[in-house]
């Protein structure tokens, strides 16, 4: 091992203990899904049911939280803030940042539909790394509280505004930074997370500072470990989407004089429908189709309209979770094409973004001087990420021709439709249809319930898409060997939390002490980096480390 990487391993062991997170339930393996890999390989339908067992834990949480004083306080704060002309700002990072953008979009689109102009420009989102991070993760940004604080400053938050921070683990630095900055400016703040609050307070100073602040209201959405260990894009973000979405939608229902849905009961009905034998069979069949497409070096391009943003959330998360190639920009001939992509069937890329967001792009244009001021470190200062609006527009998500995505005989366009929605798409000769709450299509889940007129944000429809895609993408990766047991053994180690997760995975599966696993991880990272050429797919560091360990025993 080189001295450089040995010192990095020791530095992580000694000086980054606030990122050693194995004590958190969201970072642990769930016994309900311990047989996940075995079940999928035996029968994909059995694997689907294993994932669905863990989704039931979200319902138990919802029944508790939706009846709580804290949830009623959130509803009241939303109503008062909006009625008095203040801003409501959701903040998050990674999956919760994408959720924050989705919640803002749902609100703005509903206000347009219901001609609710008074409140249309009252809900906003802060995504760590800006809108660009919706499409492609911005490496290491979540490690900096100051970055989150800076985005609050740029949002212009002040007294009379409301921040709703969402962090799956309750410890994401950039999101905690948004809370601290917002309350320092006189704004009201709520924080939603999925670990026991007392555990966070006991172990993590950055979490303790926020949770114990009397100006912050805490909604603890703890619902147990994830179905895929550490993959908080799954049950954690589902619970946050349900609770935050219910608070937001119930507020709009009151403004529109609509009845407020029974969200716990509606979610129960959705889970029941997804667990029906015909739904399980359709999800399993589509999962096998997508896995076989990738085995044959084919690509999937999802085509959608209303739910395009929901698909973005799932497909973007596949890259760091399973080390898949991220989306590729126009003009990039070096990077590998992403396995999955998304496109709108009839709008250009700029028009698609406007259709999705109902607002201008909100990207970051920070310069080296800004990063120096925020103490970002030499690595970012010397090589600032390209995350401006101009860079985001280089991803061809509109109806512009993308012949390279359909050039191979195993490349498919997949139309994702919901209920009576119809999408015409003829750019590819190979088209499949994944239909939710509809009986037609190559893969159909006809029994899913559909939101009625009392649901202006269509919250349960969005959750139906999320749960279906989470199950499909996770099951696909299990079938392709990118999951070990119920651990993501192909995780991309792009920040300190993920480094810790990789170390713990090596320690558990390799039967090593944490310190030895840490040294092995950093050694393997150095070896992989040295032998990977530009444009090549990087091999999975954790998997390579485990293989070398097995060979040397």
CA 84 to chain centre: 32
| H/E element, 150 | helix 145-155
The pLDDT assigned to 1 comes to 42
Is residue 454 pLDDT above 60, yes or no?
A: yes
Residue 53 Cα distances to 49, 67, 312, angstroms: 6, 23, 25
Residue 422: exposure state from Cβ atoms within 10 A (0-12, 13-18, ≥19): exposed
- For the stretch 92-128, pLDDT in tens is 999 999 999 999 999 999 999 999 999 999 999 999 9
Is residue 537 pLDDT above 80, yes or no?
A: no
Domain membership of residue 494 (yes or no) is: yes
More confident residue, 317 or 519: 519
CA 545 to chain centre: 27
More confident residue, 357 or 552: 357
- For the stretch 357-382, pLDDT in tens is 999 999 999 999 999 999 998 989 99
More confident residue, 237 or 336: 237
* CB-facing half-sphere around the CA of 213: CA atoms within 13 A: 19
With the C-alpha atoms ordered 329, 331, 335, 341, is the resulting torsion angle positive or negative?
positive
Q: Which domain holds residue 501?
A: 3-29+487-551
Domain membership of residue 23 (yes or no) is: yes
**Phi, psi angles (nearest 5°) of residue 419:** 55, -125
Which of 502, 479, 489, 439 minimizes the C-alpha distance to 290? 479
Range with top average pLDDT, 7-16, 247-256, 533-542: 247-256
For the chain, how many structural domains are there in total?
A: 1
Q: To the nearest 5 percent, what fractions of the chain are helix, strand and coil?
A: 55, 10, 40
* Mean pLDDT within 306-312: 95
- For the stretch 74-84, pLDDT in tens is 999 999 999 99
Residue 513: exposure state from Cβ atoms within 10 A (0-12, 13-18, ≥19): exposed
Tokens of 274: 């997804």
Is residue 531 pLDDT above 90, yes or no?
A: no
* Mean pLDDT within 501-515: 92
The pLDDT assigned to 3 comes to 57
Phi-psi bin for 186: left (phi > 0), alpha (psi -120 to 50), beta?
A: left
The mean pLDDT value of the chain amounts to 94
Which of 483, 507, 476 minimizes the C-alpha distance to 36? 483
The pTM assigned to this predicted structure is 0.94
Torsion of CA 134, 140, 146, 147, to 10 degrees: -20
The count of other CB atoms within 10 Å of the CB of residue 356 is: 22
Domain membership of residue 543 (yes or no) is: yes
- For the stretch 385-409, pLDDT in tens is 999 999 999 999 999 999 999 999 9
* Rounded (5°) CA angle 263-265-270: 90
Domain membership of residue 128 (yes or no) is: no
* Rounded (5°) CA angle 461-240-482: 85
- DSSP state letter for 216: E
Q: How confident is the model at residue 550 (pLDDT cuts 50, 70, 90)?
A: confident
Domain membership of residue 21 (yes or no) is: yes
The least confident of 1-15, 137-151, 257-271 is 1-15
* Mean pLDDT within 237-259: 98
The pLDDT assigned to 169 comes to 93
The pLDDT assigned to 535 comes to 65
More confident residue, 323 or 298: 298
Domain membership of residue 164 (yes or no) is: no
Residue with tokens 């689109």: 109
**Phi, psi angles (nearest 5°) of residue 18:** -70, -10
Domain membership of residue 102 (yes or no) is: no
Cα–Cα distance, 41 to 448 (Å, whole number): 26
- For the stretch 465-490, pLDDT in tens is 999 999 999 999 999 999 999 998 88
Is residue 254 pLDDT above 90, yes or no?
A: yes
Domain membership of residue 523 (yes or no) is: yes
* Mean pLDDT within 16-24: 89
Which of 396, 106, 448 minimizes the C-alpha distance to 248? 106
Strands (E) across 363-411 are located at: none
More confident residue, 392 or 535: 392
Phi-psi bin for 485: left (phi > 0), alpha (psi -120 to 50), beta?
A: left
More confident residue, 15 or 79: 79
Length of the chain equals 553
More confident residue, 32 or 5: 32
């Amino acid at each position: 091992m080189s001295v450089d990487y040995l010192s990095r391993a020791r530095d992580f062991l000694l000086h980054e203990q606030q990122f050693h997170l194995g004590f958190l339930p969201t970072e642990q393996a769930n016994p309900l899904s311990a047989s996940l890999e075995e079940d999928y390989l035996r029968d994909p339908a059995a694997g689907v049911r294993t994932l669905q067992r863990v989704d039931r834990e979200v319902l138990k949480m919802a029944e508790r939280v939706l009846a709580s004083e804290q949830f009623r306080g959130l509803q009241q704060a939303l109503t008062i803030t909006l009625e008095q002309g203040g801003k409501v700002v959701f903040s998050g990072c990674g999956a919760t940042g994408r959720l924050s953008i989705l919640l803002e979009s749902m609100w703005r689109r509903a206000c347009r539909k219901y001609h609710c102009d008074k409140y249309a420009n009252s809900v906003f989102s802060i995504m760590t790394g800006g809108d660009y991070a919706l499409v492609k993760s911005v490496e290491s940004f979540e490690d900096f509280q100051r970055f989150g604080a800076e985005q609050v400053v740029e949002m212009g938050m002040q007294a009379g505004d409301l921040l709703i921070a969402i962090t799956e683990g309750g410890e994401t630095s950039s999101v905690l930074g948004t809370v601290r900055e917002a309350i320092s400016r006189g704004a009201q703040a709520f924080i939603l997370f999925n670990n026991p609050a007392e555990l966070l307070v006991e172990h993590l100073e950055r979490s303790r500072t926020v949770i114990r602040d009397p100006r912050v209201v805490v909604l603890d959405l703890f619902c147990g470990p994830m179905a895929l260990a550490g993959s908080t894009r799954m049950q954690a973000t589902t619970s946050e989407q349900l609770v935050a979405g219910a608070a937001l939608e119930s507020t709009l229902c009151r403004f529109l004089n609509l009845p407020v849905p029974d969200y716990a009961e509606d979610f129960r009905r959705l889970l029941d429908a997804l667990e029906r034998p015909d739904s399980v069979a359709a999800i399993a069949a589509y999962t096998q189709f997508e896995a076989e497409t990738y085995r044959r070096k084919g690509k999937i391009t999802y085509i959608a309209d209303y739910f395009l943003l929901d698909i973005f959330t799932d497909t973007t998360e596949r890259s760091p979770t399973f080390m898949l190639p991220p989306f590729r920009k126009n003009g990039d001939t070096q990077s590998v094409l992403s396995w999955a992509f998304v496109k709108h069937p009839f709008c250009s890329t700029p028009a698609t973004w406007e259709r999705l967001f109902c607002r201008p792009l909100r990207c970051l244009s920070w310069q080296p001087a800004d990063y120096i001021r925020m103490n970002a470190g030499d690595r970012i200062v010397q090589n600032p990420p390209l995350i401006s609006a101009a860079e985001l527009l280089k991803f061809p998500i509109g109806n512009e021709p993308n012949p390279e995505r359909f050039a191979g005989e195993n490349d498919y366009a997949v139309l994702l439709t919901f209920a009576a929605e119809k999408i015409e798409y003829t750019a590819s000769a190979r088209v499949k249809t994944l239909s939710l709450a509809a009986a037609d299509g190559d893969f159909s889940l006809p029994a899913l319930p559909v939101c009625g007129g009392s649901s202006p944000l269509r919250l349960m429809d969005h959750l139906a898409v999320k749960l279906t895609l989470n199950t499909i993408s996770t099951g696909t990766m299990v079938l392709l060997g990118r999951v070990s047991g119920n651990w993501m053994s192909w995780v991309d180690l792009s920040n300190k939390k993920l480094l810790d997760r990789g170390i713990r995975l090596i320690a558990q599966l390799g039967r090593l002490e944490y310190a030895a696993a840490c040294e092995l991880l950093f050694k393997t990272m150095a070896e992989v980096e040295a032998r990977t050429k530009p444009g090549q797919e990087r091999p999975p560091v954790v998997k390579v480390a485990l293989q070398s360990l097995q060979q040397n025993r």
